[in-house]
Structure 1
Amino acid sequence: MGIQGDHGAALPPPPPIHAGVVPRRCPMNRNDFGSKGQKVQLLTNHFQVRMARSDCHFYQYSVEMAYEDGTAVDAKGVGRGVIDKLHETYKTELGGKQIAYDGESTLFTLGALPRNKLQFTVVLGEQQRSGKAGNPGSPEDNEDPNTGERKRLRRPQRSKTYTVDVSYATKIPLQAITNALRGQDSEHYQEAVRVLDVVLRQHAARRGCLLVRQSFFRNEPKNFFDIGGGVLGCRGFHSSFRATQGGLSLNIDVSTTMIVQPGPVMDFLVSNQNVPHPDQIDWVKAKRMLKNLRITTKTSNLEFKITGLSDKICRDQIFELRQRNGDGQHQSVEITVHDYFVQHHNISLRYSSKYPCINVGRPKRPSYFPIEMCDLVSLQRYTKSLSGHQRASLVEKSRQKPQERMRVLTDALRASNYAADQMLIASGINISIEFAQVEGRILPAPQLKVGSGQDLVPRRGRWNFNNKGLFEPVEALDRWVIVNFSARVDMNMLSRDIVKCGQRKGMKIRDPFKVFQENHQDRRLPAPRRVENMMDSVKNGLPGPPQLILCVLPDRKICDIYGPWKRKALAEIGLVTQCISPQKLNDQYLTNVLLKINAKLGGLNSVLSIEHARNIPFVSEAPTLIIGMDVSNGSPGRTDVPSIAAVVSSRGWPLISRYRASVRTQSPKVEIIDGLFKPDPETNTDDGMIRESLLDFFKSSNKRKPENIIIFRDGVSESQFSQVLNIELDQIKEACKFLEENWNPKFTLVVAQKNHHTKFFQRNSPDNVEPGTVVDNGICHPKNNDFYMCAHAGMIGTTRPTHYQVLIDEIGFSGGDLQDLVHSLSYVYQRSTTAISVVAPVCYAHLAASQVAQFMKFDEFSDTSSSHGGVTSVGSASIPQLPRLHPNVSSSMFFC
């Protein structure tokens, strides 16, 4: 029986998504290695770790800290200082053991402490709590900045006393690492490696570094660069231990984070809000931005945490000042913050009297400082989302050529001086300072087919259409129009050049039916209204719907018109559109535009020769569906913005170059996709994304259902592999059975990871590795089936390979055949004439999620209600739903 749409047995919903799913399947073991390609010797930023002993155990202990009165301590503020002092004071009681502390509630020792439960009293001086040695705290000044009361504390009384309880939790054998390196199942491997990572974090903390997960950042001017808006990029280093075929290695790479520009608070706010003068600062935004940042003041070198801003400006903000009268008794008088600092501290305030004060106190007892007296301390992370300009600047200034990156990494490893760390010495751990050597292979570029059946061989991962036509151009583009939101583009020149360029590529393009210019009065309207007015003009000015609308945007980057325009065209009307904002009209720019247009209208720009000849192992032999899946999460810090899940699937088998997409919203920050299979028992239907893919494949592939399904999953970490196998793959299988109960296609599931820190370098060459470079030995997993692929030519900076991890392979690919398929899928990306860094289905899934996300402004959904496509409840959260694509464009490459 063939695929029958919505008919089939009703099935229960897929299993719930949560972190505690019991793993049922694990990633598959490696079956063999690839052999195709020219061998090449490479260096990689993995450094060999020698383990002199593996017969010992790490002992894990829970740590609880409290003040003298029993109040629990927030260890993040002072924990490292307390534990360092404890270790210094109680060496004998600790049995002389070295310790590694994670900064929160756990410490590790090599060998057991004398007793399972220990209690210590630790006295920590003010300077030790203030973060001067890389341990940020929130000390109080010895004078309240507003009341003026001297606390009159002598030096010994300015110390604080802590009670620290240490309790045995478990022991972790170092042998677990050795077992994992042998390819054996190792129950405690992750815990043992975590201990070593904690040792490196502690080592960095003692050197005054900012710690961000497994990256370390030092407070050195050479590490900072300005990206605008009061934000600095800060270069640091990532380090993590990895089990590889060559043994345990330490992967070290350059890392970058964003920090707040240190210095005067007012200078930061002016730069952050991009205003010419402090009088134009939006103080509501400023309050949100400054909350929880740390400052020092002109009257003290101690640090304070900002809790807010005063309600009134400095010269009007009143507080009660307690002072002694002539009889020695205390009395309270009202005074403004401005007058207090002028009269009692003899500080002349130049400008801040007319601005709010910085509040560093508690809600019921505020403490104010005039803003000009406050300086932001260094190495404070900036966690807000970046503007387009800031992102571009960050990327540009973070780039490093391969040789420069190697030099920086070598210097960093030497400067880290891990050989002197007492915990590493006690553990018998020795870290090499030489880059590991691995053998790579350079796969030959796949041959392409273009117009008139011509063969085209890419050179260094690139090709062009000079004097060549498109493989399958759209039959005729004679009903198209231009809409112009820009005042600076010559429409006559644009339309003429597009027609000429298209004709040279084999596209039969006539002059546009009409050019619609935006009314000058409309340019002051909100973006959705501008789009509505323009679409009304198009409807009223044409006898019928056009094949294509070319939309000229007013800005170079995606502007506020883009989202409403795409929503209107793709979801409501069902029209293919192409947005442009040309700075220069040249042949290369227009060719790139036409590549996108041709793909969106159903054409193909090029295909693989082996695809055309039906000569791809397994894929060409039986109907094969190729799927790319990705989840796009909202901006950092936004928990009210839904995540966007996209599934892109191939169509028109035996082709593997044409795709369509399904997109859904889901709970914020949830990486596992929950919309693959969505059965409704009442209507006996499935509204999941996989059903759409299966039905479209059946319809576009001569009514053949897929016997093989190859899935490329982007954006998941190794800790989520079991959920991908046991939740997502189960949903896909259930979707298949819902359509036909006895249908059991074979699956191959591959995770594509870009978010890792492995790099490759050519020996004695300043250039990046060659496109097509694959590595499946040396630094790959000792047991699992994985490989690294540099399919593209890295023109700028250092090439980042994609790490492919094969979780399941029921189809039965050899290692070489699967690597060839991955390499080939990097050449079917219809938007460009270069090989891309990850397989095209994954790139398309990312594009589809990003573009459809522009349909809605999620800021409007923080109150969980909206008119944009409805709201669906998931648990206790309400998820705004994306409007579905119009049937006219739902199977098109609208995302291209």
Structure 2
Amino acid sequence: NGEEERAQWLPMEAVQIVEWERAMRPLDSVQQALVAKKSIVKSDQRYYQIMDIIHQRNWNSDRYLKALNIQVNIQEMLKIRARILPPPQITYRTQNNKNVVEHVPLGKWKIRNQLCSTPVINKWSMVYVGSKPDKNIIDILKKFEQHLPLLLQRYGIQINPNPKTIAKPDQRKDIDETFNNIKTDGWQLAIVILNSTEPALRDHVKQLGNQKLGLVTQCASFQAIEINSEKLHMYVENLSQKINTKIGGINGIVNLKTALSQISNTDRFMFFGVDATHTTSSRKRPSIAAIVGSCNPSCSHYAACLCEQYPEKNRCSIEVIKDMDKMVIELLQVFARSCGNTLPNRIVFYRDGIDDGQFQKVLDNEVSKIKSTFQVVYGKNPMACLTFIIVKERHNTRFFAYDGKKTSNIEAGTVIDVDITHPSQFDFYLCSQAAIMGTSRPALYHVLHDENGFNSNDIQELTYWLCHTDARCSKSVSIPALVHYAHLAVYASVAYKFNDNDDETLEIDDDESTSETITLEDIKTKVMILNNNIQDTMWFV
């Protein structure tokens, strides 16, 4: 038991397994799907479950509440006022290279035209990795190979219809040799079809492409292709948005400036999404922080910076990002290179993963570092105005729409900023997604710092419109896309190696019982460095 270095080994004959013992290892994809299916509760069912619990508890008979003169209204849920924000318009491109607008009904839309900008793909390959292909596998792969270029061209992606096709077993040395040959031949894209039970194979492909060789890769599951073989257009629509984004294209554009009431055409916006893991970190299991920042005028292209942070000795929980200043400087430099050596004059941060008790710590550390960064980067020029917003997904608040007869999920774009929000702080609930199944969960936003002078409607509408900019899909997502990108970057980072500036090889004792106080100065960091061809691309989608 315990970690492998301190494991206590026992003969199998001397061990008795206790029934229903909890397995601490992560669930696989099949198990996750089963858990999600069991945990889905429709909105009307959840409403009645909540009301049943309230009535069974019989609060008004509780002697402690009576002693404190507290009465609970158990007849009905609290009725509050809400507004539904207008959705944005998404700009795409026609075959005649003219702009066309798609409207957004009920939180999702169809891509009926071509993507906004699409690079030309002349040399690409399709690599099958897995067991030796039989006739059924070969037929499915040939169908996918024939239909993929045609379906990509429907969305404006000019791609050579004759890819180089390769089949390899799921052995790392074979994959390494194949990828090295592809890179040497100057291929722009490798679509890797995985048909293997080895979970680390995808991570190996990503590390090869993004960190060692600088080759754009798009992984696809053979099982997913097989299931969708009769409706490939739906599968490829999702795949095309990822491919186009990774090779530098732009899918759709939302004019975010039109969401704001007081704005100038000369204003240059930059948006940051920030996330960090909150496990108790150590040298062996570090916390990972990710910051993504927009780097083009339409705020449709993002670059990411990631770093590991951990105490040199022992373990601790790290709430703030130590190298926030260095990472922000790097992303501001990417913005300047992409925008003709100009810097943004309005910057908006969306920070995920912070609890109420940590607000002041974030203000004292992260916000102050960002302000210090501006002084370094902008020098004597006017500094950018900063807005810093906390995003909270993990809370127990749910809202139901009631039409006088039945309850249902609230619509996409519903915002609540009265009655149940903080009496003095600037916070609001926003449900930006349309619930497909189950009960919709709104996100809670806290505006910690605002120098841009946004009013309530400006920030709420800007936040809602940012939820429509996710390059991976054609629907409004539950949080701003840039925060989702930060989540994806953290999740994907397990495949990559972080730069180790520490040459120390001494064994560290991770003693949880230590009472030593660990400060931010004691935290060590390692930056993740990708290949120069990949570093500033949207590799994380």
Shared fold, TM over 0.5 = yes
Q: 1:516 touches 1:538 (CA, 8 Å); kept in 2?
A: no
Q: CA contact under 8 A between 1:856 and 1:882: conserved in structure 2?
A: no
Q: Which residue of 2 aligns with 1:480?
A: 124
Q: Distance in 1 between matches of 2:103 and 2:125?
A: 36
Contact 2:260 2:462 in 1 (8 A): no
Q: How does 1:505-524 map to 2 (within 5 A)?
A: 505-519=155-169, 523=170
**2: CA distance, partners of 1:424 / 1:614:** 47
**Contact 1:632–1:850 at 8 Å: present in 2 too?**
no
Root-mean-square deviation (CA), in Å?
A: 3.1
User: CA offset at residue 485 of structure 1?
Assistant: 0.5
Please give the alpha-carbon distance, in whole angstroms, between the structure 1 residues aligned to 2:69 and 2:392: 32
Per-residue deviation, 1:513: 3.8
Deviation string for 1:602-654 (max 9, x for gaps)? 1111112566x8988538541121100001345x899941111110101112x
Aligned residue in 2 for 1:580 = 220
1:841 corresponds to: 482
**Residue-by-residue CA offset, 1:504-563 (whole Å, 9 max, x unaligned):** 1111111244112104xxx3x4xxxx1x4323224336763211111111259x921111
**CA spacing shift, 1:598–1:309, aligned 2, 3 Å:** closer
Shift of 1:423: 2.4
**1:87-166 to 2 correspondences below 5 Å:** none
Match of residue 754 from structure 1: 393
Q: Is it true that 1:694 corresponds to 2:332 in the alignment?
A: yes
429, 440, 446: which one pairs with 2:88? Answer: 446
Q: Which residue of 2 aligns with 1:895?
A: 540
CA gap 1:864/1:793 in 2 versus in 1, 3 angstroms:
farther
Q: 1:848/1:615 Cα in 2 relative to 1: closer, same or farther (>3 Å)?
A: same
Task: Determine if the alignment matches structure 1 residue 394 to structure 2 residue 35.
Answer: yes
Q: Which amino acid aligns with 1:724?
A: V
Query: Is residue 495 of structure 1 aligned with residue 145 of structure 2?
Result: yes
8 Å CA contact 1:482, 1:512 repeated in 2: no
Structure 1: 5+ residue stretches without partners: 1-283, 289-307, 314-353, 358-370, 678-687, 866-872
Paired residues of 1:553 and 1:559 also in contact (CA < 8 A)? no
**Change over 3 Å in CA distance of 1:699–1:601 after alignment to 2:** same
Distance 1:647 1:310, change over 3 A: closer
Query: How many residues were matched structurally?
Result: 499
Q: Give the TM-score, by structure 1 length.
A: 0.52
Q: Secondary structure at the match of 1:491?
A: helix
Letter in 2 for 1:603: G
Aligned AA for 1:886?
N
Name 1:708's counterpart in structure 2.
Answer: 346
Residues 448, 405 of structure 1: alpha-carbon distance in 2 compared, 3 angstrom cutoff:
same
Task: Please state whether the residue corresponding to 2:423 is helix, strand or coil.
Answer: coil
Give matches, 1:69-80, under 5 Å: none
Correspondence 1:824 to 2:472? no
Does 1:562 find its partner at 2:208? no
Please tell me whether the aligned partners of residues 392 and 445 of structure 2 are also in contact (alpha carbons under 8 angstroms).
yes
Aligned to 1:55: none
- What is the 5 A alignment of 1:296-307? none
Q: In structure 2, what is the Cα distance between the partners aligned to 1:771 and 1:811?
A: 26
SS in 2 for 1:760: coil
Please state how far the C-alpha of 1:845 moved relative to its aligned partner: 0.6
SS at match of 2:408: coil
Q: Deviations over 1:785-837 (max 9, x none)?
A: 11111111011100000111111111001111111111110111111011101
The answer to whether structure 1 residue 657 and structure 2 residue 300 are counterparts is: yes
SS of the equivalent of 1:782 reads: coil
SS at match of 1:390: helix
CA distance in 1 between counterparts of 2:491 and 2:183 reads 31
1:607 counterpart residue number: 253
Provide the rounded CA distance (Å) in 1 between the counterparts of 2:506 and 2:86: 51
With over 3 angstroms needed to count, the CA separation of the structure-2 counterparts of 1:384 and 1:620, relative to structure 1, is: farther
CA–CA distance in structure 2, aligned partners of residues 656 and 455 of structure 1: 18
Paired residue for 1:238?
none
* Structure with higher RCO (Cα < 8 A, 6+ apart): 2
Contact kept in structure 1, 2:305 and 2:528, CA below 8 Å: no
Alpha-carbon distance between aligned partners in 1 of 2:506 and 2:55, rounded to the nearest angstrom: 49
Which deviates more, 642-651 or 883-892?
883-892
C-alpha distance in 1, partners of 2:213/2:281?
Answer: 35
- 3-state SS of 2:305 partner: strand
Q: CA 1:309/1:564 → structure 2, altered by over 3 Å: closer, same or farther?
A: closer
> What corresponds to 1:886 in structure 2?
531
1:676-697 alpha-carbon deviations (Å, 9 max, x no partner): 12xxxxxxxxxx2111111011
Identity between Structure 1 and Structure 2 (%): 27
SS at match of 2:299: coil
Q: Which amino acid aligns with 2:201?
A: I
Q: Could you tell me which of 749, 767, 776 is aligned with 2:417? A: 776
Residue in structure 2 matched with residue 590 of structure 1 by the alignment: 236
Change (3 A) 1:810 1:673: same
Q: Secondary structure at the match of 2:334?
A: helix
Is the 1:754–1:801 Cα contact (8 Å) retained in structure 2? yes
CA distance in 2, matches of 1:760, 1:539: 53
Letter of the aligned partner of 1:436 in structure 2?
L
Give matches, 1:514-553, under 5 Å: 514-519=164-169, 523=170, 525=171, 530=172, 532-540=173-181, 544-553=185-194
Deviation at 1:891, TM superposition (A): 1.1
C-alpha contact (below 8 Å) 1:571/1:883 kept by paired residues? no
Contact persistence 1:628–1:711 (CA under 8 A): yes
The residue correspondences of 1:139-288 to structure 2 (distance < 5 A) are none
Equivalence for 1:671: 319
- Deviation track 1:83-105 (CA, whole Å, cap 9, x = no partner) reads xxxxxxxxxxxxxxxxxxxxxxx
Distance 1:592 1:809, change over 3 A: same
What is the rounded CA distance, in whole Å, between the counterparts of 2:436 and 2:379 in structure 1?
Answer: 50
Shift of 1:381: 7.7
Task: Report the CA distance shift for 1:543/1:894 in structure 2 as closer, same or farther (over 3 A).
Answer: closer
Specify which of 352, 356, 369 is matched with residue 15 of structure 2: 356
Contact 1:614 1:620 in 2 (8 A): no
What is the letter of the counterpart of residue 356 of structure 1?
A: V
- Post-superposition Cα deviations, 1:323-354, rounded to whole Å, max 9, x if no partner, equal xxxxxxxxxxxxxxxxxxxxxxxxxxxxxxx5
Deviation at 1:419, TM superposition (A): 2.5
Is the Cα contact below 8 Å between 1:754 and 1:803 reproduced in 2?
yes
Contact 1:650 1:658 in 2 (8 A): yes
Residue in 2 that maps onto 1:738: 376
* Aligned twin of 1:328: none
Which secondary structure does the structure 2 equivalent of 1:562 belong to? Answer: helix
Distance 2:81 2:259 in 1: 32
Distance in 1, matches of 2:487 and 2:533, equals 22
More strand by share: 1
After TM superposition, the score normalised by the length of structure 2 is 0.85
C-alpha contact 1:610 1:616 (8 A) present in aligned 2 = no
Counterpart in 1 of 2:502? none
Q: Is the 8 A contact 2:259 2:461 kept in 1?
A: no
Indicate whether 1:641 and 2:285 are aligned. yes
Q: Distance in 2 between matches of 1:749 and 1:312?
A: 56
Give the whole-Å Cα distance in 1 for the aligned partners of 2:408 and 2:416: 18
The structure that has the greater radius of gyration is 1
Q: For the Cα contact (< 8 Å) 2:351–2:483, is it kept in 1?
A: yes
Q: Distance in 2 between matches of 1:805 and 1:429?
A: 29
1:503 and 1:853, CA in 2 relative to 1: closer, same or farther beyond 3 A? same
Which has the larger share of helix?
Answer: 2
Q: Is the 8 A contact 1:606 1:828 kept in 2?
A: yes
Deviation per CA, 1:387-422: give whole Å up to 9, x if none.
433333222211111111111111112222333333
